[in-house]
Structure 1
């Protein structure tokens, strides 16, 4: 997720009944001991990047998981990193939101190539911006040209309503005409969240919980309630680097990220989510899953060499051949990377400082690559 300045910089029916009947809950076996290679790489992340803490969970093709941590979870008392602790997962939220939109497509309640104005009449207007010319597909694929509201938030730390964030975005001109470019913009997923609420009549948190979290049995994944700033379960503290000083930003209000990046989760929950997503019928019927991964566009500048963006889902090449699918997130205090392969392997890693350069973020991508390419996964 693109960054804001200083500490608050950015960085966040019938078909369902049939799917639920076909979708067993996620296995909840106790994590196995971490592999030495994952532990060594986590230790190296802490040593080389200078982040306070790092944690990872790897899931093999049989659903068995192993978790590891390195560094400290709280600089104030030196407490160790809680293995598989909760973190703010930033833009991994976008994949969850895209899944719900595509479930609504499967139910016949939303059409990907219908304009957003059909669902949110008169809402999307601005300089070079007309919701009658922007499709739902373009929102999910980041090809709408909409300006990114998070670039204009400044340093104010407070609660934000989605409507405020949209108003802020629409004060700025479009980056390009719809469909004529690709640019990462949190505004696209702000509108996707508003679309979900308008079509379902429920708030976004309810839909994410009912359609994904509860169905998969995820234990530590949730959208914080309005005004909720503390993490609910065991978690490492997140830090912002201000020169030589590390400032604890764990308790900042995350509402500014909303549908673009407000979710809290764990590496194990993310592994389970991405592995389930790539299995037709678990979260999406095969046609909608195919749409999610079809006609991907290059996204190297944001996600690294060879990355391509689908509908809220990023594919990256593996050094051992093939590709994996995930997203990743950047949020004040935390950086996350990971995803899953076609055969059910998954890996996610988090560090407790928002990283600011492609080189530093590449260290996380390398760990995910090594975990997914390891012979025992």
Structure 2
């Protein structure tokens, strides 16, 4: 849970004690150390303040049993941050008058949703009511670690389940929505999703260490910490190498914390979308993700303890969790850990670290 602190009091204390503040330990380093002490094998962050100063603290080990430090700004699987990349491409197509947000998906992909009257906006905002296909897959079962899935196979897993509510009547996070969004991009452009993300977003934002793994590519290309999955007997298994195709448009990508900061900053600065489409992306609805979190079109706003909100997303995939927040005045922070949180308290601790990075 994000902490709520009196920002004015904090500012007064800092102003009154500049020497003490200068010598105080970095709160993000402290938080990363606590994450490791509480069970995460490794943790890393990249933090940029409003003046553009960047720091890249780490804690823990890159590989259990070696003592090797976590590489600063190493590549990780970024999971559901992929959704924001996909949403940007869809909104670029809206700006090009090739897609309309309030059109039914069936207009572009006839028969795909078996007659369901779901709009493009509802897909991007998780208000479609489509069941979440990943809730019906044994993702922690090592037997499917290297199994390759086709997007329509994933979609059918979701569509085989009862819808959770009528379209537009509620909100529920569903990876199925973004499989639909990825198929929509491919249908409208006539090109593979990975290529469109690379051309339209990764290159445009100048991201040097972010990519959409190719079919059959199970490894991470650059410097990276290993990711771990706890088994029922308590053993931590190195799950870094896996086939991420089960995530596809909902969570297949790989990147670095600094690239995530750069991506979300470029997005909010209007470098990836025209003003009208960015405004649509920032129109949010309430969620049950964590206190105060609201969901736009592939974009999450979260209240900060020091006032205002941070914009970003986050991602969870076996081996890694990432959380990002950027603000309108240039602050940015991404925190990654090398195992998915096993408790709500652990998940809250990752969110708190982002908050401390932006507010300290």
Do the structures match in fold with TM over 0.5?
A: yes
Partner of 2:122 in structure 1?
Answer: 138
The offset of 1:136, in angstroms, is: 0.2
> Which of residues 244, 258, 264 is equivalent to 1:268?
258
Q: Is 1:320 matched with 2:306?
A: yes
1:162 equivalenced with 2:151 (yes/no): yes
Distance between the aligned counterparts of 1:39 and 1:287, measured in 2?
39
CA deviations on 1:130-170 (whole Å, 9 max, x unpaired) are 34x10000000000000111111223330101011111111
RMSD of the TM alignment (CA)? 1.4
CA distance in 2, matches of 1:114, 1:343: 35
Contact 1:72-1:80 at 8 Å conserved across structures:
yes
Which of 340, 343, 347 is 2:326 aligned to?
340
Using the TM superposition, give the Cα deviation of residue 87 of structure 1 relative to its aligned residue in structure 2, in angstroms: 0.4
Worse-matched range after superposition: 153-162 or 208-217: 153-162
Query: Mapping of 1:6-25 within 5 angstroms?
Result: none
Change (3 A) 1:317 1:94: same
User: What is aligned with 2:32?
Assistant: 42
Structure 1 partner of 2:162:
173
Question: Which of 104, 109, 117 pairs up with 2:106?
Answer: 117
Distance (whole Å) between structure 2 residues aligned to residue 175 and residue 53 of structure 1? 36
Deviations, residues 153-196 of structure 1 (Å, cap 9, x unaligned): 22333010101111111111111110011111000000000000
Match in the other structure for 1:297: 285
Q: In structure 1, which of residues 73, 84, 93 is the aligned counterpart of residue 73 of structure 2?
A: 84
Q: In the alignment, does 2:233 pair up with 1:249? A: no
C-alpha distance in 2 between matches for 1:173 and 1:43: 43
Unaligned runs of 5+ in 2: 1-24
- Residue 53 of structure 1 pairs with residue 37 of structure 2: no
Q: Does 1:329 align with 2:325?
A: no
User: What is residue 219 of structure 2 aligned with on the other side?
Assistant: 230
Instruction: After TM superposition, list the pairs within 5 Å mapping 1:272-283 onto structure 2.
Output: 272-280=262-270, 282-283=271-272
Give 1:364's match in structure 2, choosing from 329, 338, 350: 350
C-alpha distance after superposition, 1:234-293 (max 9, x if no partner): 00000011243111000011100000011101100000011111112x011111110001
CA contact (8 A) 1:124 1:170 kept: yes
Contact 1:325 1:339 in 2 (8 A): yes
Aligned length: 331
Out of 166, 184, 189, the position equivalent to 1:200 is 189
Return the TM-score normalized by structure 2. 0.89
For residues 6-35 of structure 1, give each alpha carbon's deviation from its aligned partner in whole angstroms, at most 9, with x where no partner exists.
Answer: xxxxxxxxxxxxxxxxxxxxxxxxxxxxx7
- TM-superposed CA distance for 1:64, in Å, is 3.6
Contact 1:104 1:110 (8 Å CA) reproduced: yes
Q: Which residue of 2 aligns with 1:6?
A: none
Q: What secondary structure is seen at the aligned counterpart in 2 of 1:247?
A: strand
Structure 2 CA distance, aligned partners of 1:119 and 1:371? 42
Distance 1:373 1:257 in 2: 33
Q: Secondary structure in 2 aligned to 1:325? A: strand
- Alignment-derived partner of residue 93 in structure 1: 82
SS at match of 1:347: strand
Say yes or no: does 1:307 pair with 2:293: yes
Measure how far apart 1:356 and its partner are.
Answer: 2.8
After TM superposition, give the deviation of residue 358 of structure 1 in Å. Answer: 2.1
- Alpha-carbon distance, 1:36 to partner: 2.2
Q: Deviations over 1:21-63 (max 9, x none)?
A: xxxxxxxxxxxxxx7222122111111x211000000122344
Q: Distance in 1 between matches of 2:42 and 2:306?
A: 28
> d(CA) in 2 for partners of 1:116 and 1:205?
20
CA distance in 2, matches of 1:171, 1:224: 28
